[in-house]
Amino acid sequence: MSANVTVVEHPLVQVKLTQMRSKETATPDFRRLLKEISHLLAYEVTRDLVLTEREVETPVERAMCPVLRDLEPCFISILRAGNGILDGMMDLLPSARVGHVGLYRDHETLEAIEYYYKVPTDMADREVIVVDPMLATGHTAVAAIDRLKKDGAKNIKFLCLLAAPEGIEEFQKGHPDVPVYTASVDQKLNEHGYIVPGLGDAGDRIYGTK
């Protein structure tokens, strides 16, 4: 796999992903599985958060115990499917700050147009973890991170459930400094921009809109 891409191969992640891929898996189960996988992916993507120590008084004695050294990370959800991962991430780090970015692609110019943008003002001082289940063409992820960098984000990671090789290539052209975490790099994109074999439209499957 290319440098700067971590595929989380833990068996629990892979088994849950298989269940999510099945077209027989209905919305409530799909949503639950995405939340469960997000817990496991969150564990991996936060692995290198820096710790320091603080004194804690246990019922037995005083001890120096690990705590986060820096400000809590900031999670950025790319709407709307990113919210499916965000829910699980927030379970594990309830004190994280959260931002949302909404982009759509203009059919004529193919430019990414922003329709929603609300992020914490102190992003520059935090680790920023951008989440979107599908890294397909990579265009939306690149545009979202362009925007976040303009607002000062420096220390960024990108977390998705599935990636297409084409999406990873495009992403790394745009943001070679941003590590990608995923549960799988699938075969390819099809002519409709879907990841193959993939799991279909992540937003529709999370929210039952189709």
> Binding site for 5-phospho-alpha-D-ribose 1-diphosphate: which residues?
80, 105, 132-140, 201
> Rounded CA gap, 171 and 173, in Å?
5
Q: Verify whether residue 106 is a known catalytic residue.
A: no
CB 171 within 8 A of CB 202: no
> Among residue numbers 60 through 119, which ones bind ligand URA (CB under 6 A)?
81
Q: Smaller CB distance to ligand URA: residue 120 or 198?
A: 198
Cα 126 from Cα 32, distance rounded (Å) = 29
Given candidates 5, 19, 27, 194, which one binds ligand URA under the rule CB under 6 A? 194
The bridge status of strand 184-185 relative to strand 162-163 is: parallel
- Pick one of 134, 148, 185, 206: the residue that binds ligand URA (CB under 6 A): 134
Cα–Cα dist 53/69, whole Å: 8
Applying CB under 6 A, which part among 13-21, 45-53, 70-78, 198-206 lies near ligand URA?
Answer: 198-206
Based on the residue annotation, tell me whether 32 is a catalytic residue of this protein: no
Tell the smallest beta-carbon distance from residue 45 to ligand URA (Å).
20
Close Cβ partners of 47 (under 8 Å, ≥ 6 residues apart): none
Say which residue the tokens 């936060």 belong to.
46
Chain residues that interact with ligand URA, rule: CB under 6 A: 81, 134, 136, 193-195, 198, 201-203
Active-site residue numbers? 105, 109, 201, 204
